[in-house]
């Protein structure tokens, strides 16, 4: 057995256009998954066949034509140097073939797992031209990886070898297998099922439209499952009961594994209150800084200027000057809370409003606030399906009640239809009209 280790590029050393390649399987291995076996690259028994491979798309060909070169070195630093030299020579020769051993085509994989690996590589912007790259979160790519894993598991359950099935074999019967697996075995909720099937449909469409595969996309025939949006809101007495439950002695939560964690933090109450008073998503209100507060002429808090993460990420906007922001009015109770959080001392600083002295990362705190809400809500004993996101729906329902058809201008939604479908509680709106009379003449 070879003493060499599988050739893997560390995430800190990733360089655009530089990949790892197996000359035995004739496949890229940048995803750390063997394209032939579907197993982790670390278990490969033939690491001596692993090479560095440079792939450079020829400008003006929509990445359809490429120049490539396989390197002999196994040293990442030397590989990076050779990549730079290779690209300089290509540019100097207008991408025409030179004395360097290169080719302008990349083998089109036919196995399902190869195509999956190629798609994951695309999502990571590997080999994608700079103007076509998108800023995707690690969470999104992890979700796609999970969906692919479930796809393969559904095949295995039906005694189909997922390592040798070709992409052209994906038909209605195969789709039925993943359909049944997601609903019967994984017991996914309708919303999650729809999300997974949509991702698979997009994957196949990418192969057909961007990679010129010639076959029908059977996922286009999948019928979406009906989704019931939970637009439940929290009443004032219920919210007061929740805040009352947030105490140190109630903080201990026990998982099914027996592990215990303390959900109490001295900032939890303020986090819940700010979520309710602003209607912001958890990432938005958990990353608020005192510098986000815009003051009036008397240097009093007037409104909050917060980045619209959802829109900016959807449009892949990274430049600060091009980013979209939304303005959130500061209510009387919100203003009072800011002063409780020492606004006078911290005004105009980049200190976080919530969890000012926390050492944990914001990502950790964002996750914690959701779990803490679920934990303390359960302690209230209120038999009502409420999660952290329902505070946002409570705020937006109140906004619609107060401002009517102009509410979306304040909430920064495209139109009222979006608010009504996903956020506004219809029951609350109907209650507001309880004194309505068909024959009542307001002038009489």
What residues form DSSP beta bridges with 56? 67
Is the pLDDT score of 430 beyond 80?
no
Q: Which of 17-31, 304-318, 346-360 has the highest mean pLDDT?
A: 346-360
Report, as an integer, the average pLDDT of 371-379: 95
Is the pLDDT score of 163 beyond 80?
yes
Give, in order, the Cα–Cα distances in Å from 269 to each of 233, 234, 275, 276, 359: 18, 15, 10, 11, 19
| 309 vs 110 pLDDT, higher one | 110
Lowest mean pLDDT among 163-167, 223-227, 255-259, 439-443: 439-443
Could you report the per-residue pLDDT of 73-87, keeping only the tens digit for each?
A: 888 888 888 888 888
Are the C-beta atoms of residues 418 and 396 closer than 8 Å to each other? Answer: no
Give, in order, the Cα–Cα distances in Å from 162 to each of 18, 183, 349: 28, 20, 54
Residue 369, both tokens:
């606030």
Report, as an integer, the average pLDDT of 398-410: 61
Is the pLDDT score of 266 beyond 80?
yes
- Of 57, 66, 70, the closest CA to residue 100 belongs to 70
CA atoms of 29 and 21, how far apart (whole Å): 5
Report the share of the chain in percent with pLDDT over 70. 82
* Tally of CB atoms within 10 A around 165: 17
Is the pLDDT score of 282 beyond 80?
yes
Report, as an integer, the average pLDDT of 421-430: 49
What residues form DSSP beta bridges with 304? 293, 328
Domains with residue ranges and CATH for the chain: 11-106 (no CATH), 132-221 (no CATH), 236-432 (1.10.443.10)
Map 125-171 to HEC letters: CCCCCHHHCCCCCHHHHHHHHHHHHHHHHHHHHCCCCCCCCEHHHCC
> Containing H/E element for 68?
strand 66-71
This prediction's pTM: 0.58
Please name the residue that has the structure tokens 């926390």: 358
Average pLDDT, the chain: 82
Give, in order, the Cα–Cα distances in Å from 168 to each of 80, 153, 194: 36, 18, 23
Report, as an integer, the average pLDDT of 390-406: 76
Is the pLDDT score of 180 beyond 70?
yes
What residues form DSSP beta bridges with 359? none
Q: How confident is the model at residue 153 (pLDDT cuts 50, 70, 90)?
A: very high
Residue ranges of the alpha helices (H) in 404-440?
407-411, 416-422, 426-432
CA atoms of 345 and 334, how far apart (whole Å): 17
Is the C-alpha dihedral spanning 134, 57, 33, 109 positive or negative? positive
Could you report the per-residue pLDDT of 284-298, keeping only the tens digit for each?
A: 999 999 999 999 888
Could you report the per-residue pLDDT of 295-345, keeping only the tens digit for each?
A: 988 888 988 888 877 777 766 666 666 787 888 888 888 999 999 999 999
């Amino acid at each position: 057995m070879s003493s060499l280790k599988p050739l893997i590029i560390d995430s800190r050393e990733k360089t655009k256009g530089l990949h790892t390649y197996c000359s035995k399987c004739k496949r890229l291995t940048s995803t750390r998954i063997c394209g032939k076996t579907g197993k982790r690259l670390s278990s490969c028994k033939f690491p001596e066949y692993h090479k560095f491979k440079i792939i450079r798309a020829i400008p003006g060909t929509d990445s359809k034509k490429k120049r490539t070169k396989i390197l002999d070195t196994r040293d990442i630093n030397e590989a990076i140097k050779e990549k730079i030299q290779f690209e300089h020579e290509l540019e100097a020769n207008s991408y025409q073939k030179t004395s360097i051993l290169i080719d302008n085509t990349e083998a089109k994989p036919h196995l399902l797992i190869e195509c999956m690996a190629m798609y994951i590589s695309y999502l990571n912007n590997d080999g994608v031209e700079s103007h076509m790259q998108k800023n995707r979160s690690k969470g999104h790519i992890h979700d796609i990886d999970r969906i692919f894993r479930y796809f393969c598991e559904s095949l295995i359950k039906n005694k189909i070898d997922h390592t040798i099935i070709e992409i052209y074999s994906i038909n209605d019967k195969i789709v039925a297998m993943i359909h049944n697996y997601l609903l019967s075995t994984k017991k996914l909720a309708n919303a999650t099922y729809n999300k997974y099937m949509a991702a698979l449909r997009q994957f196949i469409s990418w192969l057909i439209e961007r990679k010129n595969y010639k076959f029908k996309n059977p996922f286009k025939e999948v019928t979406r499952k009906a989704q019931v949006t939970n637009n439940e809101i929290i009443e004032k007495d219920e919210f007061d009961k929740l805040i009352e439950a947030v105490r140190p002695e109630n903080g201990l939560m026990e998982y099914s594994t027996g592990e215990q964690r303390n959900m109490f933090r001295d900032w939890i109450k303020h986090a819940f209150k700010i979520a309710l008073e602003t209607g912001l998503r958890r990432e938005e209100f958990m990353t608020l800084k005192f510098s986000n507060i815009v003051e009036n002429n008397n240097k009093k808090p007037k409104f909050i200027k917060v980045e619209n993460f959802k829109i900016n990420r959807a449009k892949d906007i990274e430049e600060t000057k091009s980013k979209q922001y939304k303005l959130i009015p500061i209510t009387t109770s919100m203003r009072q809370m800011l002063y409780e959080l020492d606004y006078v001392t911290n005004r105009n600083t980049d200190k976080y409003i919530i969890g000012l002295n926390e050492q944990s990362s914001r990502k950790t705190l964002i996750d914690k606030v959701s779990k803490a809400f679920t934990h303390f809500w359960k302690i209230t004993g209120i038999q009502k399906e409420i999660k952290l996101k329902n505070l946002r729906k409570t705020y937006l329902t109140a906004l619609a009640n107060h401002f009517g058809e102009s509410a979306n201008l304040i909430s920064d939604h495209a139109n009222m239809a979006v608010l009504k479908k996903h956020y506004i509680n219809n029951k609350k709106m109907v209650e507001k009209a309880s004194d309505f009379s068909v024959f009542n003449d307001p002038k009489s």
